[in-house]
Amino acid sequence: MDCVICTHKVFVTERIDANGRPYHKTCFKCSEKGCRLTLVNFHSHEGRLYCQKHVPKLQAIISPLNRRRLVHSSSTSSSNLSSEGSTSSF
Ligand SMILES: [Zn+2]
Ligand SMILES: [Zn+2]
């Protein structure tokens, strides 16, 4: 079996199976920043691995059929009334 990330051969001793696919232990990391991943908290998206922080927006994963570019030019001319609520402390 070949590593999904680097496409090199994976030996059993350095192999991690995620979603039924083989990865090197060293390749099993966030493709964005190289964050450490575990089999519990990793995200795979389009053949790449991401940590919870850097995974692309979930919308793209949930609905792959409706792939549209969101090119809505939203006019950001809304005035934000910054009224921060006081944090209730005990
Ligand atoms: Zn690899
Ligand atoms: Zn990351």
Is 9 contained in some domain?
A: yes
CATH number at residue 44: 2.10.110.10
The answer to the question of residue 68 being in a domain is no
% of residues, the chain, pLDDT over 70: 63
List for the chain the helix, strand, coil content (%; round to 5): 10, 20, 70
Q: How many domains does the chain have?
A: 1
With a CB cutoff of 8 Å and minimum separation 6, the contacts of 17 are: 23
| More confident of the two residues 71 and 22 | 22
Q: Looking at the CA of 36, which ligand is closest? A: 2
Domain residues for the domain of 17 are: 1-56
Residue at 82 is within a domain: no
Q: Rounded to the nearest whole angstrom, what is the distance from the C-alpha of residue 46 to the centroid of ligand 2?
A: 15
CA distance linking residue 69 with residue 20, whole number of Å: 31
DSSP 12: G
Distance between Cα 3 and ligand 1 center (Å) = 5
* pLDDT score for 2: 94
Judge if pTM exceeds 0.75: no
Q: Per-residue pLDDT averaged across 8-20, rounded?
A: 94
Question: Which ligand has the shortest distance to the CA of 31?
Answer: 2
In a domain, 85, yes or no: no
For residue 68, pLDDT over 90 is answered with: no
Within 21-71, where are the H helices? 58-62
Output the CA 67–ligand 2 centroid distance in Å. 24
pLDDT tens digits, 36-62:
999 998 998 888 899 999 998 755 555
CA of 53 to the centre of ligand 1 (A): 22
